[in-house]
């Protein structure tokens, strides 16, 4: 039982820091660069990702293990997952529009774009590729999405300050954002030493 | 015919999906650790883009406007599943290296973006040309990035040693940060060239 708890803790830490979905795995980068101009909107995006990711990867885990495997339909994995996620995003969109219109305004175009946010789909795939149990999968999705939130909020706070820094003309805008991400990625690489996985 | 050439060149240079539109970055950064994998990714990506453009362009008069996005996604997901199984069958090693990034083509913004912005409004011929231009534009950049990273990080190109024996590889270049840094320089270079 103790090893089981430790295992879950390791899954969480690994998803959150060591294999950070944005900076180490390079998944979900479109929104990482697109929505990180202001720290408020990146916070909103991170929150939306947590909500959708935990929900969708639990649903897709159930679908995969109780529908696709018993009927030998594993080849429908990609197709069914993306449809489930698209439906869940619609749901989340309506939910946020009704209960938090300010947040809805701030997220703007990026909320529907969560459908094509690779991070959501990737978390669902990875949970299955790693043969996680339902509980482990839940913790994994939570870790991945919190890692997303952490990275994008840190990144947008740095970007807000970079605007006023003297930067060579050619590097203004996107290139300096990439360099910043590179340095952050270097820092996150340091977490590899946390435990020998 | 003239329009066809224009569409083709657009995809490679003026509207290059990666450098200019900054779409579909994930596979570009993640799979560009070696030139061989990058080429495989470029081909898989172009395959999906080509066939989804063809089907969507053929069906463009029959797809109801309101549900077009789900229809596009189903078409794209079908071809992604096909290429996933083809790669797994013919090149298991490539399949292992590309990993989750093959199924992730389904949410690649470029593929959906071309379906929405081009294939559902243009005829079959132009859609094929558009897919080829965009596919080649994508492949050029991902292979270019991979060649630079592999050369600096491992001293080789396509697995063949290029650098002299005593070259100390800059391992950082094949680790994740290297992708961001090289990409920053590529975009900065392109900004510089466009300004002139």
Distance from CA of A117 to the nearest CA of B (A): 7
CB contact under 8 A, B177 and A185: yes
How far, in Å, are A29, A43, B112, B172, B192 from residue A177 at the CA level?
12, 18, 25, 18, 16
Around B54, how many Cα atoms within 13 Å sit in the side-chain half-sphere? 9
CB contact under 8 A, A116 and B103: no
Q: What is the pLDDT along chain B (196 residues), one digit of tens a residue?
A: 677 888 888 777 777 777 776 777 888 888 888 888 999 999 999 999 999 999 999 998 888 888 888 888 889 999 999 999 999 999 999 999 888 888 888 888 788 888 888 888 888 999 999 999 999 989 998 999 999 998 888 888 887 787 777 788 888 888 889 999 998 998 888 888 876 5
What total of structural domains would you count in chain A?
Answer: 1
CB contact under 8 A, A178 and B85: no
**A133 falls within a domain:** yes
- Among B84, B100, B109, the residue with its CB nearest the CB of A30 is B109
CB contact under 8 A, B108 and A118: yes
- Among A78, A168, A179, the residue with its CB nearest the CB of B103 is A78
Model pTM score:
0.86
Q: By three-state DSSP, how is residue B157 classified?
A: strand
CB contact under 8 A, A178 and B100: no
Residues of the domain holding A96: 39-181
- Is residue A197 exposed (0-12), middle (13-18) or buried (19+ Cβ within 10 Å)? exposed
CB contact under 8 A, A83 and B107: no
Q: Is B71 on the interface with A (CB under 8 A)?
A: no
**A194 falls within a domain:** no
Whole-angstrom Cα distance, residue A127 to residue A147?
15
- Note which residues in 36-65 of chain B have CB less than 8 A from chain A: none
Q: What is the pLDDT along chain A (197 residues), one digit of tens a residue?
A: 455 666 888 888 888 888 888 888 888 887 888 778 888 778 878 888 888 889 899 999 999 999 998 998 888 888 888 888 888 888 878 887 888 888 777 665 566 667 667 888 889 988 888 888 899 999 999 999 999 999 999 999 999 998 888 888 888 888 899 999 999 999 998 888 776 44
Q: Select from A170, A173, A184, A190 the residue whose CB has the most chain B CBs within 10 Å, as the one to mutate to test that interface.
A: A170
What total of structural domains would you count in chain B?
Answer: 1
Distance from CA of B6 to the nearest CA of A (A): 27
Percent of chain A with pLDDT over 90: 23
Token look-up 């453009």 returns: B53
Write the CB contacts of B128 (distance below 8 Å, at least 6 apart in sequence): B50, B53, B54, B57
Distance from CA of B44 to the nearest CA of A (A): 15
- Among A78, A83, A118, the residue with its CB nearest the CB of B26 is A118
**A189 falls within a domain:** no
ipTM of the prediction greater than 0.85, yes or no: no
Distance from CA of A186 to the nearest CA of B (A): 5
The tokens of B105 are what?
Answer: 């083509």
In chain A the first and final C-alpha atoms are separated, in Å, by 21
Residues of the domain holding B159: 2-195
Q: Select from A77, A127, A178, A191 the residue whose CB has the most chain B CBs within 10 Å, as the one to mutate to test that interface.
A: A178
**A1 falls within a domain:** no
Task: Judge whether B63 and B52 are in contact, CB under 8 Å.
Answer: no
**A169 falls within a domain:** yes
Of B44, B25, B83, B100, the residue nearest A123 (C-alpha): B100
């Amino acid at each position: 039982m103790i090893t089981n708890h430790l295992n879950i803790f390791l899954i969480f830490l690994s998803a959150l820091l060591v294999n950070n979905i944005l900076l180490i795995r390079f998944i979900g980068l479109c929104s990482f660069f697109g929505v990180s101009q202001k720290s408020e909107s990146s916070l909103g995006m991170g929150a939306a990702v947590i909500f959708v990711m935990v929900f969708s990867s639990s649903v897709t885990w159930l679908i995969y293990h109780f529908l696709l495997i018993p009927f030998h339909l594993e080849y429908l994995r990609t197709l069914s997952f993306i449809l489930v996620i698209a439906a869940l995003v619609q749901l989340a969109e309506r939910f946020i529009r009704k209960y938090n219109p300010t947040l809805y305004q701030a997220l703007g175009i990026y909320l529907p774009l969560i459908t094509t946010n690779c991070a959501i789909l990737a978390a669902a795939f990875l949970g299955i590729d790693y043969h996680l149990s339902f509980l482990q999968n839940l913790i994994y999705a939570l870790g991945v999405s919190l890692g997303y939130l952490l990275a994008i909020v840190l990144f947008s706070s740095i970007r807000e300050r970079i605007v006023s820094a003297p930067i060579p003309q050619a590097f203004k805008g996107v290139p300096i954002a990439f360099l910043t991400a590179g340095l952050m990625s270097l820092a996150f690489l340091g977490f590899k030493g946390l435990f020998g996985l | 015919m003239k329009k066809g050439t224009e569409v083709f060149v657009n995809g490679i240079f003026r509207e290059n999906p990666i450098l200019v539109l900054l779409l579909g970055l994930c596979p570009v950064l993640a799979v560009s650790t070696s030139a061989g994998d990058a080429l495989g990714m470029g081909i898989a990506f172009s395959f999906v883009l080509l066939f989804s453009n063809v089907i969507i362009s053929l069906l463009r008069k029959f797809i109801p406007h309101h549900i077009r996005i789900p229809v596009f996604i189903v078409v794209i997901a079908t071809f992604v599943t096909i290429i996933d199984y083809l790669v797994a069958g013919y090149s298991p090693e490539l399949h292992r290296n590309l990993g989750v990034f093959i199924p992730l083509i389904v949410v690649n913004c470029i593929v959906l973006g071309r379906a929405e912005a081009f294939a559902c409004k243009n005829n079959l011929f132009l859609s094929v040309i558009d897919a080829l231009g965009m596919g080649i534009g994508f492949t050029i950049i991902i292979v270019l990035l991979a060649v630079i990273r592999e050369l600096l990080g491992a001293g080789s190109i396509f697995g063949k040693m290029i650098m002299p024996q005593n070259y100390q590889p800059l391992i950082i270049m094949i680790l994740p940060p290297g992708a961001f840094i090289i990409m920053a320089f590529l975009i900065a270079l392109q900004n510089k060239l466009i300004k002139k």
